[in-house]
Amino acid sequence: MGLLVVGSIALDSVVTPFGETADALGGAAVFFSMAGAVLHPVQVVGVVGNDFPETHLKKLAARGVDLAGVERKQGESFRWKARYSYDLNSRETLETRLGVFAEFQPRIPDKFRDAKFVFLGNIDPELQLNVLDQVKQPKLVACDTMNYWIEKEFKSLLETLKLVDILIINDAETRELAGESNLYRAGRKILSWGPRALVIKRGEYGVVMMKDRSMFGAPAYPLEDVFDPTGAGDSFAGGFVGYLAGCGELSDAAIRKAIIFGSVMASFNVEKFSLDRLRNLTFPEIQGRFREFKQLTHFEGLE
């Protein structure tokens, strides 16, 4: 079952209290693919400029990621610069240079159109709709968005949400999208607009999933060394959708398990800069951390 992601492929320059990177491999579609590919083969659609190092793309290819949907265009690649606060809980975007990403028109190669699992990365909701028009009959559509689209393209975002099964956004985006300060009230409102489930990422406080009749929460893995939170949300999404594509099931139990796999992938991602941790991650390491999560939250049978 094909797993398709559409989103940014970037050169990131990031400063954290522990170091910095310049023009490192980044972008939502990249973090998603690198995390997802450990669990299920991933197909990427995105755009890079002629300055994008071939060595960066080779890192994805080495993970088995299918890059047939990555267009190389004349011009500069998308560049993003950010600085994190001392506790890594907030970041300031210093610069966003869209380059060729500004004119991005996703073209899904024929061989990707049968994809059964689709992740719409954080792009213009009109383009997200356009991607869905090109995919034949997906079994699951998951989607991300950000404050920019909530503020500028609210109407088309609502149209996209009607076709989305699972929306994966952070707590601030949840509140802003719904125009509600209470997170759960906000979540309830968003669910009434179409998605069958809403997964709310809460950084170091973990994740909450809301569905029509049930909720599920998971803490973040208690890491003592966090170096670079960039891409935590996208690697969560990669682990989450990657697990579902791998098991091919959408039961409540599978979705709960996918949340733990997502949390595991995000926890590994932040241990090193850029994609340095995910690149070499092995499946046994993932299984080990999955078991630790089980211990961390286990209270069944306790009186």
210-249 footprint of ligand AMP as x/- string (CB under 6 A): --------------------xxxxx---------------
Q: Is 66 in the site for ligand AMP (CB under 6 A)?
A: no
114-133 footprint of ligand AMP as x/- string (CB under 6 A): --------x-----------
DSSP 287: H
**E strand intervals along the chain:** 3-6, 10-16, 19-20, 24-26, 43-49, 66-73, 78-84, 91-97, 117-120, 140-143, 166-170, 197-201, 207-211, 215-218
Number of residues in contact with ligand AMP, rule: CB under 6 A? 14
CB atoms within 10 A of CB 258: 26
Please identify, using beta-carbon distances, which residue of 96 and 156 lies nearer to ligand AMP: 96
The answer to whether the beta carbons of residues 180 and 189 sit under 8 Å apart is yes
Q: Least distance in Å: CB of 299 to ligand AMP?
A: 30
> How far apart (Å, rounded) are the C-alpha atoms in residues 159 and 149?
13
Torsion on CA atoms 93, 4, 139, 263, rounded to nearest 10? -50
According to CB under 6 A, which one of 3, 8, 104, 263 is a site residue for ligand AMP?
A: 8
Q: Is 96 in the site for ligand AMP (CB under 6 A)?
A: yes
Residues 25-54 that bind ligand AMP (CB under 6 A): 26-28
According to CB under 6 A, which one of 3, 12, 36, 117 is a site residue for ligand AMP?
A: 12
> How far apart (Å, rounded) are the C-alpha atoms in residues 198 and 212?
9
Please identify, using beta-carbon distances, which residue of 12 and 76 lies nearer to ligand AMP: 12
Positions touching ligand AMP (CB under 6 A) are 8, 10, 12, 26-28, 80, 96, 122, 230-234
